[in-house]
Structure 1
């Protein structure tokens, strides 16, 4: 009997073989195999940037060289670190509020069709309004402190959280809900044991979008009125034609978004090891 058939017979499922769990070295190699393409693209973009600046195809006050940008990041590391931390704090706080309020609103909308029909059009209307257009209002209402930046971050990150959570709660298998009711589970038990866990894959998809948008929201709020934060740094550099500092601010802003995205990705892997997308290396077909 072939090995694949024997494995399938041992598992009780014809044509399906269980693959051995990869070790640490195998996982490291797999991560490297997935990462080399984006890293190669970044290196290529950096090389093009360096070539354009070295050949003086564009004036340095328009596009600085990579060397001058890195020099600014090194010489003014403390300055950039301070303003970067302010933006990160605003982003995290706005993202946390958006997640809490968004999940709660999604649960209420799913369990009440009246609320959904009333609230969903309002959410859609609010989403299509450019946040940069209404950000000055928050400055007038809330002042020049941290509050307007957090509000803008919440508004931008809120919609993906709500939509993904509503989709996840509605995609639960109805037979599972009926089975839980047959076994005597109440609405709260059904939500905790079935609906909420089943919605987590959809929710995390929305969270990965929302956390990057929250960075944009915080910076947009800083553009309108602030005396610290990366938005303030970028505006100051733009006004002074300090393009190395401008590029440095943009790079740090991008790094914050990437790091937060990766943290949400790691949380998803830790909290959802049971999901099919995380078990792709466990089972394979032999057909």
Structure 2
């Protein structure tokens, strides 16, 4: 059995144990479904409203993927800019740090006001949440290039551009991969927050409406789809980053 298969088996066993404990706890304590529905009730909702929930999940997934793409591209560009331009480090780096200190919910209404209730505000929100992990990880990797490699570049009289693209960037790819894995987990959060603030579709809108109607089973059904989306995105990004850095050994 490969390591990937072992991870799947461990995840399934853990999920079954947790779901079983959840079901027994809800039935044993006789909790009302509007407070905490059992997993069996959530499964019924997923089956009964599959078409509607999957359609809304597709909208959120579309927003998430676009936000991830734009966030990664902007993060990579900003990290490269900070690494090669001292003036940019002096003036842009504090702004980047301060931007992450602002609560997401505080700026979400402004983004809706600026970009409207459509797709744009959700993409911007997702991009803002994930671009900092990408920027931070990649920039840190670029700064920590092996000094011996930089000395070799000077010895062979490589230009700054050649040093950056042939030595510093490849050496920083493992760090970029770590940032991408973190970004893949946070990307759906940005889309959901944007849908909570202003939207008429998507899983965030579904959860907001269901919560107002005390339909906890629908909320949990949407959360299940959101978790599945995050896991799939994380697995896809993890596979892509491993292909990007094939020299790194696979770890458990």
Which interval holds the TM-score relative to the shorter structure?
over 0.9
Structure-1-length-normalised TM-score: 0.84
Q: Deviations over 1:35-63 (max 9, x none)?
A: 44333222221011110222243211111
Matches within 5 A, 1:60-71: 60-71=33-44
The equivalent residue for 2:60 is: 87
- Cα shift at 1:150: 0.8
Q: TM-score, normalised by structure 2?
A: 0.95
> Which deviates more, 35-44 or 243-252?
35-44
Structure 2 residue 113 is matched with structure 1 residue 144: no
Give, in whole Å, the separation in 1 of the partners of 2:20 and 2:144: 46
1:31-46 superposed matches below 5 A:
31-46=4-19
- Tell me, yes or no, if structure 1 residue 200 matches structure 2 residue 181: no
Distance 1:143 1:29, change over 3 A: closer
User: Is 1:260 equivalent to 2:233 in the alignment?
Assistant: yes
For residue 129 of structure 1, the aligned residue among 90, 102, 115 is 102
- 2:153 is aligned with 1:180: yes
Distance in 2 between residues matched to 1:262 and 1:143, nearest whole Å? 32
What is the 5 A alignment of 1:1-287?
28-275=1-248, 277-278=249-250
Cα distance in 2 for partners of 1:197, 1:163 equals: 16
- Consecutive unaligned residues of structure 1, counting only runs of 5 or more, are 1-27, 282-287
Select the structure of larger CA radius of gyration. 1
Q: RMSD in angstroms over aligned alpha carbons? A: 1.6
1:4 aligned residue: none
What is the number of residues matched between the two proteins?
252
Which moves more between the two structures, 235-244 or 31-40? 31-40
Q: Equivalents in 1 of 2:6, 2:204: separation in Å?
A: 36
Q: Offset at 1:30?
A: 3.4
Unmatched 5+ stretches in structure 2: none
Distance in 2, matches of 1:92 and 1:237, equals 25
Q: Secondary structure at the match of 1:47?
A: helix
